Amino acid sequence: MKKVDCEEVKQGVHEYLHSELHEEELTVITAHLANCDSCEQHYDIEVIFNQVIQRSCDEAPAEELAERVMQRLRGIQEHD
């Protein structure tokens, strides 16, 4: 099985989380994460970061913000 170093794992964490790697790469990174506390911490931070982004994207914008955006879009359309 191919070995990866910490730098390679940290660079591939995003793709790993989104299952965008080949099966062999997933297996190698999983094995590395299981044996490397530093990379595991980096992975945990990436997971939390992705969860925060997902929650933020799921929330509806404040009504005032939505109205300002719509006014700006209408203004742009009127100038075209």
Reference 24, options 11, 32, 42, 7; nearest CA is 32
* CA 1 vs CA 13, 26, 30, 32, 46: distances in Å: 19, 12, 12, 11, 25
Stretch 3-30: mean pLDDT: 91
Stretch 3-9: mean pLDDT: 91
C-alpha span between 28 and 24 (Å, rounded): 6
* Mean pLDDT for the chain overall: 88
CB 29 within 8 A of CB 4: yes
CB 49 within 8 A of CB 43: no
Residue 80 has a pLDDT of 59
Stretch 41-53: mean pLDDT: 91
Query: Domain map of the chain by residue range?
Result: 6-79
